[in-house]
Structure 1
């Protein structure tokens, strides 16, 4: 049983007792070990050294970034120069191969009093030079024969005609085509079979 002098409810304590000093002491003290732990874990000298190390590392990263950016810019510029040179001099090899052909044609035209046989031999020699120039530069003829399968990647059909040949095959070559390094310069012009009528 409680004594008559003790209050039953803690909030009904005697108002004459002043607890404000006790509260201030408790608030000021807070957690006395926390400040000591902070001072021990991160002394001021360590924080400043960590900061200077981080700033040095950021400066190194920035310098590396600038170097990488400059290198990328140099690579881009060199690539542009290479493309420009390739465009400018890309036909140089082909042009060198055609010079002897031009020389032969000019020589044939400069000679007078030639026989038809001499003209023919000169033209054949010039054609061989031209074929050599084409081969040297990976240029090939596309000349499908009669009965060859029509290839829309290499051939261009001018017309479709009734024929005894199977449908979709070449009936007649009208004009040779040419490829250079597996790229079509000009498709072969052909007539294609529509099958028997």
Structure 2
């Protein structure tokens, strides 16, 4: 007989929370819906998470780890630093074309909070910082192969705007070519 362990229950709760929040937002994801969708009791949820806010933050932190791992792995398949910079947008374009694309979970949930110090906003800021750090890493690798092509930190900040802009345009406008347009802008920015 397969017995569900406490870690399995916690993972189920986090999986369901993440999916519901990504699909409909924090406000639309009530505890009753979480209980029903996860197939666990309210008591089980509160055994692991003392508040809904704590649960939302944990689900977003988990998404951050998984999303960044996926993104870095996909981008890292490109053979050269320059190709990896352009692959940022190819990977985004593939994501935009996926059936479950609902934009950036971190931008979306940040829009539901007014306080810049809200834990959801803090997780979103940390996620964007990781994305920026990754872009800096890619820009430094590119510049080491092609010296004199710019400031990696400045280029990375501009790439982050292109990345988040493409995500937002793809979601709001339904424009799946936003990644291609952002990639064209990145080519000019990086002189590729």
Say yes or no: TM over 0.5. Answer: no
- Please classify the TM superposition score into its range, dividing by the shorter chain length: under 0.3
Q: Which has the higher contact order (CA 8 A, sep 6+)?
A: 2
TM-score by length of structure 2 reads 0.23
Counting strand residues as a fraction of each chain, which structure ranks higher? 1
TM-score by length of structure 1 reads 0.23
Counting helix residues as a fraction of each chain, which structure ranks higher? 2
